[in-house]
Chain A
Amino acid sequence: MRWIPFVILVYVLIVLQTTMGSALTFVWQGVGRIGPDLLAIMAVFVALRASTLLDTMIAGWILGLALGLTAVGGPGTATSLGPMSLTYAMAAGLIFKLREVVFSDRFLTQAALAFVFCLFAHMSWLLIQATLAWAWDGVGRMLIQALGLAVYTGLLMMVGFRLLRRIERWFIGAPMRRGRGARGALRMM
């Protein structure tokens, strides 16, 4: 991974998420606002293209931290900072492991992986935050919001993957190779 360009790209994405992201949200009456998680698209892309699990999890951690720094709302009055980076790193690791058993070049597979990533990362985050703050009021509704967010992000993943593929060489030094190369990379762990 080329970490400096990667961090710059994370910065650009978080700016987009906190500004233009609101333009992409809509209200689901009775549940709440539903919007995409642009950083999850990046995390899934890295998990599908990075050469090692460590790179993937560190990238996931950075993305999760950036998201945690800009997300105050959640269970309780204000959310803690650590859980999002933790769940993002774990979810990125999960997708990295899953990529060997799926055809990751397919649109639907990418969408499904983004869905699984968001579902795992956001639902875990909500449950951890609710436990830390011991505030369970409205958590059920937020879990449904997370489901909506996962579907939305999965749909955008199909476009996001193509866009990120064009600039992949800027932040992923040596993309993953299928077959023995990929296994060799895993052994580097």
Chain B
Amino acid sequence: MAKRDGIPLQWVLTVMLGLSILMSVAGQGVARPAREMFQYVMIAPTDIGMYLATTFRRAFGDEGGQGLSAEQAEAINLRQRLLKNEVAYLRGRLADSEQRVRDLTNFQEMFGPAKSVNCVLIPARVVAGESLPYGDSRTVGVGERQGARAGDRVTTRRLVTDRAKAMVKLNVLGANALVGYLGDTGAFTAKLILVTDRNFHTPAFVDRDLANARMIPGPTKEVPLTGKNNELIPCTAVGDGWSGMVVRGISADKRVQVGDWLVTSIPKTVFLNKVPIGTVVEVRDDPQQAGFQELIIAPDADLAALRRVYIVYPLWREGAVERR
């Protein structure tokens, strides 16, 4: 019998294989805490590794996030203008808008943390990826101790200053894009399910780009799409498992075109709505439903080189007042 220091290796192997079977049957009850503990062991060296990997992908990557073309820059400018109009509209509807305008005259208030928004952004770093290509998730170095919870939305972090961060309602909407939401969260780490993961699904809106002229069905005849009749199209976006998302069940009458946008539609909040998710890159007939279309969406964020993110901490959550 083969032995090492008095322990028969056959026994060791038998116990190991038995453990494997037990862990398989136990499912997430064992897998979740075990993975969480292992993340603590991994977090320091993988943080450095992810820095190198994302730097490499940023330099040589080919999965979106490249520099903007003149047309894209123009489209973003247009979107910014639309968003500014929307913010102005929302301000008019808010009962305390006058009070906030007065507050803004105070220098300290202006450059302090924004009190008018109902979410806080928690900065986090991506510290590890997934070891196998079947899923598309990342590990972020922020957990429940910092306020993160499963289901929290995560955006890119393209803002430079804390002042910009504080002015969520103006800057984040235009500057950042949704990258996913948190899955399992531990005390100090959390799993970020990316928008391209097969298990990702979120309510969203299709926002038709007014720069692309088109006719849409009116009450009696077809009319051009304008700012007045350009209603957001509610839908559900699902990760396709490799590089984008799929939106199904969009009526062909909506006349969605390549170049239109997919934006968030998160209940309970105004300011998390209309955060960009991606751009429509293909429109095709839905094979399962006649008269409906299927949209292929490319994410706005460069997920291959994802390094710094914001976790959106909603202030309506129970116990969130203390954080504010």
List residues of A whose CB falls within 8 A of some B CB: 11, 14-23, 25, 27-35, 37, 39, 52, 54-55, 57-58, 61, 64-65, 67-74, 77-83, 85-86, 89, 122, 126, 128, 132, 138, 141-142, 145, 149, 188-189
User: Distance (Å) between the CB of B139 and the closest chain A CB?
Assistant: 8
Give the residue of B34, B42, B130 whose beta carbon is less than 8 angstroms from that of A81: B34
Interchain CB contact under 8 A, B53 and A23: yes
Chain B neighbourhood of A82, CB < 8 A: 19-26
Partner of A71, one of B17, B56, B135, B184: B135
> Across the A-B interface, how many residue pairs have beta carbons closer than 8 Å?
179
A189 to B10, CA, bound (A): 8
The reply to whether A57 and B13 contact each other, CB–CB distance below 8 Å, is yes
Partner of A33, one of B20, B27, B49, B133: B133
Which of chain A's residues have a CB closer than 8 A to the CB of B128? 18-19, 70
Q: A27-B63, A39-B131, A83-B20 are in contact. List 9 more A-B contacts (CB 8 A).
A: A27-B242, A29-B242, A37-B132, A69-B38, A70-B38, A70-B131, A73-B130, A82-B25, A188-B2
In the complex the two chains form, what is the Cα distance from A126 to B174 in whole Å?
40
The 8 A CB mask of B33-65 against A (1 = contact, 0 = none) is 011001001100110111011001100000100
CA distance A155 to B198 in the complex (A): 28
Contacts of B17 in A (CB 8 A): 61, 86, 89
Q: How far, in whole Å, are A69 and B292 apart by their CA atoms in the complex?
A: 41
Q: Does B137 contact A (CB under 8 A)?
A: yes
CA of A64 to CA of B28 in the docked complex: distance in angstroms? 17
Q: Is the CB of A72 within 8 A of B34?
A: no
Interface residue B197 (Cβ < 8 Å from any Cβ of A): yes
Query: B191 on the interface (CB 8 Å rule)?
Result: yes
> Which B residues are in CB contact (< 8 Å) with A78?
28, 31-32, 183-184, 199
Do the beta carbons of A69 and B35 come within 8 Å of each other? Answer: yes
Identify the B interface with A (CB < 8 A). Answer: 2, 9-10, 12-13, 16-17, 19-28, 30-32, 34-35, 38, 41-42, 45-46, 48-50, 52-53, 56-57, 63, 128-137, 139, 183-184, 191, 197-199, 241-243, 304
Using A70-B131, A73-B132 as known contacts, say yes or no to A61 and B13 having CB atoms under 8 A apart.
Answer: yes
B24 x A73 contact (CB < 8 A): no
Nearest CB on A from B192, distance (A): 10
Provide the bound-state CA to CA distance between A6 and B117, in Å: 52
A107 to chain B, nearest CB (A): 25
Given contacts A33-B133, A69-B35, contact A55 B9 (CB under 8 A): yes
What is the minimal beta-carbon distance from A73 to any residue of chain B, in angstroms? Answer: 1
* Interchain nearest-CB distance for A129 vs B (Å): 9
Q: Establish whether residues B133 and A32, one from each chain, have CB atoms under 8 Å apart when the complex forms.
A: yes
The closest CB in chain B to the CB of A86 belongs to B20
Q: For B198, what are the chain A residues with a Cβ–Cβ distance below 8 Å? A: 73, 138
Complex CA gap A124/B64 in Å reads 33
In the assembled complex, which residues on chain A have CB atoms less than 8 Å from the CB atom of B31?
A: 68, 78-81
CB-CB < 8 A to A52: which residues of B? Answer: 2, 9
**Chain B contacts of A65 at CB under 8 A?**
20
Whole-angstrom CA separation of A39 from B63 in the bound complex = 26
In the complex, what residues of B have CB within 8 A of residue A81's CB?
23-24, 26, 30-31, 34-35
A181: shortest Cβ distance to chain B, in Å?
Answer: 15
A125-B137 Cα distance, complex, nearest whole Å: 19
Sample of 14 A–B contacts (CB below 8 Å): A18-B42, A20-B56, A54-B12, A69-B34, A73-B135, A73-B197, A73-B198, A78-B183, A80-B26, A80-B28, A81-B35, A85-B23, A89-B17, A132-B27
- Asked if A80 and B46 make an inter-chain contact with CB atoms under 8 angstroms apart, the answer reads no
The 5 closest A-B pairs by CB, nearest first: A73-B135, A19-B49, A82-B23, A82-B24, A82-B20
A58-B134 in contact given A15-B45, A72-B191, A189-B2 (Cβ < 8 Å): no
Contact B243 A72, beta carbon cutoff 8 Å: no
Partner of B24, one of A16, A80, A189: A80
Q: Please, which residues of chain B bring their CB within 8 A of the CB of A71?
A: 130-132, 134-135
Q: For residue B6, give the distance in angstroms from its CB to the closest CB of chain A.
A: 15
